[in-house]
Amino acid sequence: MRITGVAGALPDNRYPQEMLTGALKHYWGSRLKHPELLDRMHTNARVASRHLALPIDRYEELSTWGQTNAAWFRVSQELGERAIDRALNDAGLRRQDLHALFVVSITGVASPSLDARLINRMGLRPDIRRTPIFGVGCVGGALGLTRAADYTLAYPDHNAAILAVEICTLTLKRDDLSPVNLIASGLFGDGAAAVIVSGARTEVASNGGSGPEILATGSVFYPDSEDIMGWEISEDGFKIVLSQRLPEFIKRNLAGDVDAFLAGHGLARADIGNWVIHTGGPRVLEAMQETLGLEDRHLALSWDSLSRFGNLSSASVLLVLEDTVRNHRPEPGTLGVLLAMGPGFSSEMILMRW
Protein backbone atom coordinates (compact mmCIF):
# COMPACT_ATOMS: atom_id res chain seq x y z
CA MET A 1 0.00 0.00 0.00
CA ARG A 2 1.17 3.47 -0.82
CA ILE A 3 0.31 7.12 -0.27
CA THR A 4 -0.58 8.17 -3.81
CA GLY A 5 -1.99 11.65 -3.23
CA VAL A 6 -1.87 14.33 -0.55
CA ALA A 7 -3.20 17.88 -0.50
CA GLY A 8 -4.21 20.63 1.89
CA ALA A 9 -7.01 23.18 1.63
CA LEU A 10 -6.94 26.42 3.61
CA PRO A 11 -9.51 29.22 3.99
CA ASP A 12 -8.83 32.39 2.03
CA ASN A 13 -8.83 34.54 5.18
CA ARG A 14 -5.18 34.74 6.24
CA TYR A 15 -3.96 37.10 8.95
CA PRO A 16 -0.62 37.84 10.63
CA GLN A 17 -0.42 36.90 14.28
CA GLU A 18 -0.12 40.53 15.39
CA MET A 19 -3.47 41.39 13.79
CA LEU A 20 -5.14 38.40 15.44
CA THR A 21 -3.73 39.36 18.83
CA GLY A 22 -5.08 42.88 18.43
CA ALA A 23 -8.50 41.58 17.39
CA LEU A 24 -8.65 39.34 20.46
CA LYS A 25 -7.81 42.26 22.74
CA HIS A 26 -10.79 44.08 21.27
CA TYR A 27 -12.91 40.91 21.48
CA TRP A 28 -12.26 40.47 25.21
CA GLY A 29 -12.12 44.19 26.01
CA SER A 30 -11.87 45.21 29.64
CA ARG A 31 -12.27 41.62 30.81
CA LEU A 32 -8.71 40.99 29.68
CA LYS A 33 -6.93 42.30 32.77
CA HIS A 34 -3.37 41.77 31.51
CA PRO A 35 -3.16 42.34 27.74
CA GLU A 36 0.62 42.20 27.90
CA LEU A 37 0.26 38.55 28.99
CA LEU A 38 -1.67 37.81 25.80
CA ASP A 39 1.09 39.48 23.77
CA ARG A 40 3.71 37.30 25.42
CA MET A 41 1.73 34.07 25.00
CA HIS A 42 1.09 34.74 21.33
CA THR A 43 4.73 35.58 20.69
CA ASN A 44 5.83 32.41 22.46
CA ALA A 45 3.51 30.33 20.24
CA ARG A 46 5.95 30.98 17.35
CA VAL A 47 3.06 31.35 14.91
CA ALA A 48 3.54 34.04 12.23
CA SER A 49 0.15 33.77 10.53
CA ARG A 50 -3.03 31.72 10.49
CA HIS A 51 -5.96 31.05 8.16
CA LEU A 52 -9.44 31.68 9.58
CA ALA A 53 -12.69 30.11 8.43
CA LEU A 54 -14.45 33.48 8.48
CA PRO A 55 -13.35 37.07 7.93
CA ILE A 56 -12.00 38.37 11.20
CA ASP A 57 -14.89 40.78 11.85
CA ARG A 58 -17.48 38.00 11.55
CA TYR A 59 -16.47 36.29 14.79
CA GLU A 60 -18.08 38.91 17.00
CA GLU A 61 -21.43 38.08 15.37
CA LEU A 62 -21.32 34.51 16.71
CA SER A 63 -22.93 34.28 20.15
CA THR A 64 -24.15 30.67 20.46
CA TRP A 65 -22.73 27.19 20.00
CA GLY A 66 -25.42 26.53 17.40
CA GLN A 67 -24.13 29.40 15.28
CA THR A 68 -20.50 28.33 15.50
CA ASN A 69 -21.36 24.69 14.82
CA ALA A 70 -23.36 25.69 11.74
CA ALA A 71 -20.37 27.68 10.49
CA TRP A 72 -18.11 24.68 11.13
CA PHE A 73 -20.43 22.43 9.13
CA ARG A 74 -20.58 24.80 6.16
CA VAL A 75 -16.87 25.59 5.97
CA SER A 76 -15.82 21.99 6.65
CA GLN A 77 -17.76 20.79 3.64
CA GLU A 78 -16.19 23.44 1.41
CA LEU A 79 -12.64 22.75 2.58
CA GLY A 80 -13.19 18.99 2.68
CA GLU A 81 -14.36 18.82 -0.91
CA ARG A 82 -11.44 20.96 -2.05
CA ALA A 83 -8.86 18.88 -0.17
CA ILE A 84 -10.21 15.53 -1.40
CA ASP A 85 -10.37 16.71 -5.02
CA ARG A 86 -6.81 18.03 -4.86
CA ALA A 87 -5.53 14.77 -3.34
CA LEU A 88 -7.36 12.73 -5.99
CA ASN A 89 -5.88 14.92 -8.70
CA ASP A 90 -2.43 14.42 -7.18
CA ALA A 91 -2.99 10.65 -7.37
CA GLY A 92 -4.38 10.79 -10.90
CA LEU A 93 -7.72 9.39 -9.70
CA ARG A 94 -11.38 10.33 -10.13
CA ARG A 95 -14.03 10.67 -7.44
CA GLN A 96 -15.53 7.33 -8.48
CA ASP A 97 -12.19 5.60 -7.83
CA LEU A 98 -12.62 6.05 -4.06
CA HIS A 99 -13.79 2.94 -2.21
CA ALA A 100 -13.51 4.20 1.38
CA LEU A 101 -13.64 7.56 3.15
CA PHE A 102 -12.37 8.26 6.67
CA VAL A 103 -13.23 11.72 8.00
CA VAL A 104 -11.67 13.17 11.15
CA SER A 105 -12.82 16.35 12.90
CA ILE A 106 -13.00 17.41 16.53
CA THR A 107 -14.21 21.00 16.14
CA GLY A 108 -17.87 20.38 15.32
CA VAL A 109 -20.60 17.74 15.31
CA ALA A 110 -23.34 16.70 12.88
CA SER A 111 -25.67 13.81 12.19
CA PRO A 112 -25.73 12.70 9.43
CA SER A 113 -22.00 13.16 9.81
CA LEU A 114 -19.67 15.20 7.65
CA ASP A 115 -18.62 12.22 5.55
CA ALA A 116 -22.24 11.56 4.53
CA ARG A 117 -22.67 15.17 3.44
CA LEU A 118 -19.47 15.00 1.41
CA ILE A 119 -20.55 11.78 -0.32
CA ASN A 120 -23.75 13.50 -1.46
CA ARG A 121 -22.06 16.81 -2.24
CA MET A 122 -19.32 15.18 -4.34
CA GLY A 123 -21.39 12.39 -5.90
CA LEU A 124 -19.11 9.67 -4.55
CA ARG A 125 -19.98 6.05 -5.29
CA PRO A 126 -22.95 4.74 -3.26
CA ASP A 127 -21.09 1.62 -2.10
CA ILE A 128 -18.27 3.64 -0.52
CA ARG A 129 -17.24 2.50 2.97
CA ARG A 130 -17.46 5.49 5.31
CA THR A 131 -15.99 6.00 8.77
CA PRO A 132 -16.49 9.24 10.72
CA ILE A 133 -13.98 9.73 13.55
CA PHE A 134 -14.53 12.23 16.38
CA GLY A 135 -12.75 13.00 19.65
CA VAL A 136 -9.13 12.20 18.79
CA GLY A 137 -7.86 15.74 18.17
CA CYS A 138 -4.21 16.23 17.28
CA VAL A 139 -3.55 12.53 16.75
CA GLY A 140 -6.44 12.29 14.29
CA GLY A 141 -4.56 12.78 11.03
CA ALA A 142 -2.15 9.97 11.83
CA LEU A 143 -4.91 7.79 13.28
CA GLY A 144 -7.09 8.23 10.20
CA LEU A 145 -4.13 7.48 7.94
CA THR A 146 -3.51 4.31 9.94
CA ARG A 147 -7.14 3.23 9.49
CA ALA A 148 -6.91 3.92 5.75
CA ALA A 149 -3.76 1.80 5.61
CA ASP A 150 -5.56 -1.00 7.48
CA TYR A 151 -8.39 -0.81 4.97
CA THR A 152 -6.17 -1.02 1.87
CA LEU A 153 -4.20 -3.85 3.43
CA ALA A 154 -7.47 -5.79 3.66
CA TYR A 155 -8.64 -4.58 0.22
CA PRO A 156 -5.48 -4.27 -1.92
CA ASP A 157 -7.50 -3.40 -5.04
CA HIS A 158 -9.08 -0.35 -3.39
CA ASN A 159 -8.28 3.33 -2.85
CA ALA A 160 -9.12 5.01 0.47
CA ALA A 161 -9.17 8.68 1.44
CA ILE A 162 -8.51 10.20 4.84
CA LEU A 163 -9.79 13.73 5.33
CA ALA A 164 -8.87 15.77 8.40
CA VAL A 165 -10.73 19.07 8.65
CA GLU A 166 -10.62 21.38 11.64
CA ILE A 167 -12.11 24.83 12.24
CA CYS A 168 -10.37 25.46 15.54
CA THR A 169 -11.03 29.20 15.73
CA LEU A 170 -14.78 28.63 16.04
CA THR A 171 -14.24 26.91 19.40
CA LEU A 172 -12.81 30.04 21.04
CA LYS A 173 -14.66 30.78 24.30
CA ARG A 174 -15.56 34.43 24.86
CA ASP A 175 -16.10 33.95 28.60
CA ASP A 176 -12.96 31.88 29.20
CA LEU A 177 -9.92 33.97 30.11
CA SER A 178 -7.97 31.09 31.60
CA PRO A 179 -4.27 30.80 30.64
CA VAL A 180 -5.03 27.65 28.65
CA ASN A 181 -7.62 29.41 26.49
CA LEU A 182 -5.33 32.41 26.00
CA ILE A 183 -2.58 30.07 24.80
CA ALA A 184 -5.01 28.27 22.48
CA SER A 185 -6.17 31.61 21.04
CA GLY A 186 -2.65 32.20 19.72
CA LEU A 187 -1.88 28.67 18.57
CA PHE A 188 -4.75 27.08 16.64
CA GLY A 189 -5.86 27.78 13.07
CA ASP A 190 -8.26 26.44 10.46
CA GLY A 191 -7.80 24.16 7.47
CA ALA A 192 -8.07 20.69 5.99
CA ALA A 193 -5.85 18.04 4.45
CA ALA A 194 -6.62 14.83 2.57
CA VAL A 195 -4.49 11.79 1.76
CA ILE A 196 -5.18 8.99 -0.72
CA VAL A 197 -3.92 5.53 0.24
CA SER A 198 -3.95 2.93 -2.54
CA GLY A 199 -3.75 -0.81 -2.10
CA ALA A 200 -0.79 -2.80 -3.43
CA ARG A 201 -2.75 -4.21 -6.36
CA THR A 202 -4.06 -0.87 -7.65
CA GLU A 203 -2.57 0.53 -10.83
CA VAL A 204 -1.73 3.85 -9.23
CA ALA A 205 0.27 2.21 -6.44
CA SER A 206 2.05 -0.04 -8.91
CA ASN A 207 3.13 3.04 -10.85
CA GLY A 208 4.71 4.58 -7.76
CA GLY A 209 2.25 7.33 -6.83
CA SER A 210 3.39 10.64 -5.39
CA GLY A 211 4.13 9.53 -1.86
CA PRO A 212 5.86 6.85 0.18
CA GLU A 213 5.02 3.20 0.65
CA ILE A 214 3.44 2.40 4.02
CA LEU A 215 5.37 -0.46 5.61
CA ALA A 216 3.76 -0.70 9.06
CA THR A 217 1.64 1.16 11.59
CA GLY A 218 1.66 1.27 15.37
CA SER A 219 -0.64 2.59 18.08
CA VAL A 220 -0.05 3.21 21.78
CA PHE A 221 -2.78 4.08 24.28
CA TYR A 222 -1.73 5.46 27.66
CA PRO A 223 -4.09 4.36 30.47
CA ASP A 224 -5.56 6.93 32.86
CA SER A 225 -4.32 9.93 30.89
CA GLU A 226 -7.63 11.45 29.76
CA ASP A 227 -6.94 14.71 31.59
CA ILE A 228 -3.91 15.62 29.47
CA MET A 229 -5.77 16.93 26.43
CA GLY A 230 -9.31 17.16 25.05
CA TRP A 231 -12.59 19.04 25.46
CA GLU A 232 -14.95 19.73 28.28
CA ILE A 233 -18.30 19.73 26.47
CA SER A 234 -21.28 21.58 27.92
CA GLU A 235 -24.27 23.63 26.78
CA ASP A 236 -21.76 26.36 25.85
CA GLY A 237 -19.85 24.12 23.47
CA PHE A 238 -16.19 23.08 23.60
CA LYS A 239 -13.75 24.20 26.30
CA ILE A 240 -10.14 23.20 25.80
CA VAL A 241 -8.33 20.88 28.19
CA LEU A 242 -4.54 21.09 27.94
CA SER A 243 -2.39 19.94 30.83
CA GLN A 244 0.96 21.49 31.70
CA ARG A 245 2.13 17.90 32.21
CA LEU A 246 2.12 17.21 28.45
CA PRO A 247 5.80 17.97 27.64
CA GLU A 248 7.06 15.84 30.53
CA PHE A 249 4.61 13.09 29.60
CA ILE A 250 6.07 13.07 26.08
CA LYS A 251 9.63 12.94 27.39
CA ARG A 252 8.76 10.07 29.70
CA ASN A 253 6.97 7.87 27.18
CA LEU A 254 7.54 8.65 23.51
CA ALA A 255 11.11 7.50 22.90
CA GLY A 256 10.53 4.05 24.38
CA ASP A 257 7.35 3.59 22.36
CA VAL A 258 8.99 4.65 19.10
CA ASP A 259 11.95 2.39 19.81
CA ALA A 260 9.67 -0.58 20.51
CA PHE A 261 7.72 0.07 17.30
CA LEU A 262 10.88 0.26 15.20
CA ALA A 263 12.51 -2.72 16.91
CA GLY A 264 9.50 -4.81 15.93
CA HIS A 265 10.62 -4.28 12.34
CA GLY A 266 14.33 -4.75 12.96
CA LEU A 267 15.06 -1.01 12.98
CA ALA A 268 16.34 1.73 15.28
CA ARG A 269 15.96 5.51 15.28
CA ALA A 270 19.32 5.84 13.50
CA ASP A 271 17.81 4.05 10.49
CA ILE A 272 15.14 6.73 10.02
CA GLY A 273 16.09 9.52 7.62
CA ASN A 274 12.78 11.38 7.49
CA TRP A 275 10.42 12.42 10.29
CA VAL A 276 6.92 13.81 9.66
CA ILE A 277 5.81 15.15 13.05
CA HIS A 278 2.60 16.87 14.14
CA THR A 279 2.97 20.59 14.89
CA GLY A 280 1.59 20.49 18.41
CA GLY A 281 3.20 23.75 19.53
CA PRO A 282 6.67 24.88 20.64
CA ARG A 283 6.79 22.94 23.91
CA VAL A 284 5.49 19.78 22.24
CA LEU A 285 7.98 19.96 19.36
CA GLU A 286 10.84 20.69 21.74
CA ALA A 287 9.86 17.74 23.94
CA MET A 288 9.66 15.42 20.92
CA GLN A 289 13.04 16.54 19.62
CA GLU A 290 14.69 16.12 23.00
CA THR A 291 13.30 12.70 23.84
CA LEU A 292 13.87 11.27 20.34
CA GLY A 293 17.33 12.82 20.02
CA LEU A 294 16.51 14.38 16.65
CA GLU A 295 18.48 17.04 14.82
CA ASP A 296 16.98 20.43 14.01
CA ARG A 297 16.65 19.46 10.34
CA HIS A 298 14.33 16.58 11.22
CA LEU A 299 11.72 18.99 12.60
CA ALA A 300 12.34 21.92 10.25
CA LEU A 301 9.15 21.33 8.23
CA SER A 302 7.07 20.97 11.40
CA TRP A 303 8.36 24.29 12.74
CA ASP A 304 7.74 25.92 9.38
CA SER A 305 4.16 24.60 9.27
CA LEU A 306 3.55 25.87 12.80
CA SER A 307 4.77 29.32 11.80
CA ARG A 308 2.72 29.52 8.59
CA PHE A 309 -0.54 27.91 9.74
CA GLY A 310 -0.53 27.38 13.51
CA ASN A 311 -1.74 24.08 14.94
CA LEU A 312 -4.60 22.68 12.83
CA SER A 313 -5.24 19.79 15.22
CA SER A 314 -5.78 16.58 13.21
CA ALA A 315 -4.86 18.20 9.87
CA SER A 316 -1.41 19.48 10.89
CA VAL A 317 0.64 16.33 10.44
CA LEU A 318 -0.90 15.81 7.00
CA LEU A 319 0.13 19.33 5.96
CA VAL A 320 3.69 18.50 7.00
CA LEU A 321 3.39 15.33 4.90
CA GLU A 322 2.20 17.38 1.91
CA ASP A 323 5.16 19.74 2.22
CA THR A 324 7.50 16.76 2.41
CA VAL A 325 6.02 15.13 -0.70
CA ARG A 326 5.91 18.30 -2.80
CA ASN A 327 8.95 20.28 -1.76
CA HIS A 328 11.36 18.19 0.33
CA ARG A 329 11.08 14.66 -0.98
CA PRO A 330 13.70 12.34 0.55
CA GLU A 331 15.98 10.20 -1.58
CA PRO A 332 14.41 6.95 -2.85
CA GLY A 333 14.75 4.16 -0.30
CA THR A 334 14.82 6.54 2.69
CA LEU A 335 12.87 5.23 5.68
CA GLY A 336 10.52 7.66 7.40
CA VAL A 337 8.21 7.85 10.39
CA LEU A 338 5.00 9.86 10.58
CA LEU A 339 4.15 10.61 14.20
CA ALA A 340 1.39 12.33 16.16
CA MET A 341 -0.02 12.31 19.69
CA GLY A 342 -3.40 13.40 21.00
CA PRO A 343 -6.40 12.95 23.29
CA GLY A 344 -6.78 9.55 24.82
CA PHE A 345 -3.89 10.04 25.49
CA SER A 346 -2.31 8.14 22.60
CA SER A 347 0.38 7.93 19.93
CA GLU A 348 0.13 6.89 16.29
CA MET A 349 3.22 5.90 14.29
CA ILE A 350 3.53 5.02 10.62
CA LEU A 351 6.68 3.51 9.11
CA MET A 352 7.20 4.58 5.50
CA ARG A 353 9.69 4.04 2.67
CA TRP A 354 10.22 6.78 0.12
Residues annotated as catalytic (active site), given as ranges: 138
- Report yes or no: 240 and 177 within 8 Å, Cβ to Cβ: no
**Residue 240 near residue 231 (C-beta atoms within 8 A):** yes
Alpha-carbon distances of 245 from 145, 251, 283, 292, 319, rounded to whole Å: 27, 10, 11, 18, 26
Q: What is the DSSP letter of 245?
A: T
**Nearest 5°: phi and psi at 319?**
-70, -35
Return contacts of 325-332, CB within 8 angstroms, 24+ apart: 325/3, 325/6, 325/210, 325/211, 328/301, 329/354, 330/273, 330/274, 330/354, 331/273
Contact criterion met (CB below 8 Å) for 337 and 352: yes
Tell me if residue 132 falls in helix, strand or coil.
strand
C-alpha distances (whole Å) from 33 to each of 37, 40, 42 are 9, 14, 16
Question: Is the peptide bond preceding residue 179 cis, with omega within 30 degrees of 0?
Answer: no
166-201 b/e with 16+ CB inside 10 Å = b? bbbbbbbeeeebeeebbbbbbbbbbbbbbbbbbbee
Note the helical H segments in the chain.
17-28, 35-44, 65-91, 114-122, 140-154, 179-187, 203-206, 246-263, 282-292, 300-309, 316-327
